[in-house]
Every structure is written in C-alpha cells, then in structure tokens.
Amino acid sequence: MILKGREAFMKGNRQLIIHFFIFTVLGSLILGCSGIQQGKNLIFEQVNRGQLLADAATAYGAGDFAEAGNYYKKVLIHNQDDAVVAYNLACCYALQGDATQAAKFVTLAFQNGFRGLEIFNKDTDFDPVREDPEFKAATRDIKERFHSIGTMDYVEASSMLPYRIRFPKDYDASKSYPLLIGMHGMGGNSEGFISQYDKLVDPQIIYVAPEGQYPLSLHMGAQWHRRKWSITNVGKEAWKSSDQMVSDYILRTIKKVSSEYKISDVYIMGFSEGAVYAYTIGLMNPDKIKGVIGFSGYLMNTDGDKSILTKEDIETGKDLRLYIAHGIDDAAIDVETARELKSMFEKQGYDITYKEFEGRHNVKADVFNEAVAWMQL
C-alpha cells in the first residue's frame, strides 16, 4: 500500500494515500540497487517531484506496479533520504514478487526515518514476499532496530517563529493595504512561497509567508529546509495541540503585521496542506479573517476528538468569503474533492467563488491574480 499519513485520518480515509510534495529538487544517486543507473555518466536533471509522485500514484492505482516503481526510482535518484518514496517503491517491488528489492527498499525506508512499523506489519502489499527468507530476515532486522531507537514524542514549548514579508513596489506607508497570509504546501517553505508574490501583476497587497513548524522528516539526513504544518505518527491529543499552535502562530503573525503596517482586510491563502490549515483558521476566526483562498486543498476532519475544527465552526463561520481553486488534472488531490467542498459550502450559505483550471497540483499564476483581484472587490 502507499504510505498512510496524517492527511488520510483528517479526511476520514483509512486507505492508503501518498503525500505529494510540490517543488523542484536537484540531487545525486548513491543507491546501489538494480534498475537505477549510477556512475560518472549520471546526468543530473531538474525534476518536478510532485508530478513524478502524481504519475506514480496513477500507475499504482491502475495496477501497473512496474511503472509506478520507475517513477519512484526517478525521485530517489535525486533524494536518496526520502523514507516515503523508499517505502512506496518497496511496495511496488513486493507486488511484483521481487523479495530482494522489496527487502532492500523497505529497509532503506526505516533507515531514513519511517516509523510506521504497525502499518508495515499489516500492509498486504508485502504478502507476496512475506515468507521469502531474505525478506523475513530484513523484517526481523527492521523490528530489532525499530525497538532499539525508542519512540519519538513531543512537548509543547515556546519558540520564535519566522515569516517573510513583501510589499508593493510603490508602497506608501500612509495607505492601507489588504494583508494576504500565504501558507505553503507540505515540503515547501517560506522562502519558496514568498516568491508566489512574483506571479502577481502590480500587486497592491502586503504578502506574508510563514513557515511550517516541522521539518519534512525528523531523522538522520533530514532536509530541514523542507517544512510541513502537521505533526505525524503521534496521538490525536498531540495533533490537536499542534494544530492549535499553527492557528496561534498565524493569528499572532496577523496581529504583529497589523500593528506595524496599515491593514484594511486580512485573507489567508493556502496551497495543498497549507489550504487545509487556511480553511481551518479562517472558519474558526471569521471575526479576524475576511476570506480564504484555497488552492488544491480540502477541509480538515471536523471530528472534535481529533481536530480543532468543529461542525459548529462551519455552521457559524458564514461571514467568511471563500475562493476555491483546483487543477482539473490534479493527481495529488482529485478535483472531485474541490467540487464536494464547493457543494458543502454552498449548502451552508457561504459566499463562494469557485475556479477549476487547466493544470495539475500547483498555484497557477493567472488564477492567483484573479484571486487577489477578488480579494479587493
């Protein structure tokens, strides 16, 4: 199965999903496994990681496990530390009956920080190779190593959290401007997402990009410049506590910027995972936030036992303006998710602008400009 992450629980879906991290990476290959070319003649190419993962998901869903594996190998060529992709590649090999490669890559996944031992133990994708002696030996080694490193947990603590800010070229301190908070997707960061401002034509807004609180992976070889908003592999109480901290972080950022500059209205724009939190924070605070722009996102589960967002928030947040945008060919989060979200909000009586665009899992420049123009209506 494809790795299950926290987003699956948020959506109430306990089937497998892939986390798609949308950005471009360069890297090199050190893996010594069959099917991946290495050596002096390796040509480094710019890779759209998110698209490769989307293509892998499509192939996996169609039952073409060899093709899905080829896409995962392309990602690993450029980032050998990716535990998620290594695990998914192991699944593809197992489904093809290749116990040697399945053992090699599932071992790599745990070495790189994957902590889902229970998921691995129950994963039916590995059934074709479970009884193979080589795979059984790898499983035994994984379990021994897993128990030797202890369990990671979290503690709440105060910290200074960053944000980046951009202003109109003709910024006038005597004038008031709308404030747009931009929340990046999983695997992004504030440096990358502040550059969304460059897509705008003569923007007359103040744009602020906070940064996800957690590195994409907390393990040896973690790439600390790749960030996420959600905490994973912990209990529901830690989820709620972490989500509340995200909300507090955004609200404090808004308060600080509003105290230093003249702000007319406040909007939050989120992409992918960032959109999940943008919707949540906006719905919970319609008195502080005028609207939300959601690109390629969905709504957090409203199970109060697991989430800070409640059904009451949705019922009482109708003053919030909403702009929902989604690529028709988005393979990471299907466009049908956006259509269902639109329908739900319309039934609740929200003021919605809905936009489907030709494209995949991204923030499209012309749609972003339309959304910012909508902000200022």
**In 158-191, which positions are buried (b, 16+ CB within 10 angstroms) versus exposed (e)?**
eeebebbbbbbeeeeeeeebbbbbbbbbbbbbbe
Where residue 377 falls among pLDDT bands split at 50, 70, 90? confident
Q: What is the pTM of this model?
A: 0.65
The per-residue DSSP string of 50-65 comes to HHHHHHHHHHHHTT-H
Residue 14, pLDDT score: 24
Contacts of 31 (CB under 8 A, 6+ apart): 38, 76, 77, 80, 108
Residues of the chain with CATH 3.40.50.1820: 163-375
The answer on pLDDT for 6 being more than 80 is no
Residue 132, pLDDT score: 96
Where residue 5 falls among pLDDT bands split at 50, 70, 90? very low
Where residue 355 falls among pLDDT bands split at 50, 70, 90? very high
Tens-digit pLDDT profile for residues 189-205 = 888 889 899 999 999 99
Residue type, 84: V
The answer on pLDDT for 159 being more than 80 is no
Residue 26, pLDDT score: 26
Residue 140: both structure tokens together: 């035994």
Range 145-165 average pLDDT: 67
Residue 311, pLDDT score: 86
**In 26-59, which positions are buried (b, 16+ CB within 10 angstroms) versus exposed (e)?**
ebebebebeebeeeeeeeeeebbbbbbbbbbbeb
Q: Which class for 201: exposed (0-12), middle (13-18), buried (19 or more C-beta within 10 A)? A: exposed
Pairwise CA distance, residues 320 & 293, whole Å = 11
Residue 275: both structure tokens together: 């959109």
> Look-up: residue for tokens 């869903």?
61
More confident residue, 333 or 30: 333
Residue 158, pLDDT score: 64
Tens-digit pLDDT profile for residues 87-132 = 999 999 999 999 999 999 999 888 877 777 888 888 999 999 999 9
- With CA atoms as reference, report the closest residue to 233 among 146, 139, 145, 162: 146
Topology of the domain comprising 163-375: Rossmann fold (3.40.50)
Residue 173, pLDDT score: 94
Mean pLDDT of the chain: 79
Helix (H) / strand (E) element for 192: namely helix 190-194
Contacts of 168 (CB under 8 A, 6+ apart): 177, 202, 203, 204, 205, 206
The answer on pLDDT for 182 being more than 70 is yes
Residue type, 201: V
Q: Which superfamily does CATH assign the domain made up of 6-148 to?
A: Tetratricopeptide repeat domain (1.25.40.10)
The answer on pLDDT for 221 being more than 50 is no
Residues of the chain with CATH 1.25.40.10: 6-148
Least confident segment among 27-36, 60-69, 311-320: 27-36
Pairwise CA distance, residues 284 & 371, whole Å = 21
Residue 15, pLDDT score: 29
**How crowded is residue 248: how many other Cβ atoms within 10 Å of its Cβ?**
12
Pairwise CA distance, residues 177 & 158, whole Å = 31
Least confident segment among 158-167, 182-191, 290-299: 158-167
Tens-digit pLDDT profile for residues 264-275 = 999 999 999 999
Where residue 306 falls among pLDDT bands split at 50, 70, 90? low
Residue 19: both structure tokens together: 């986390």
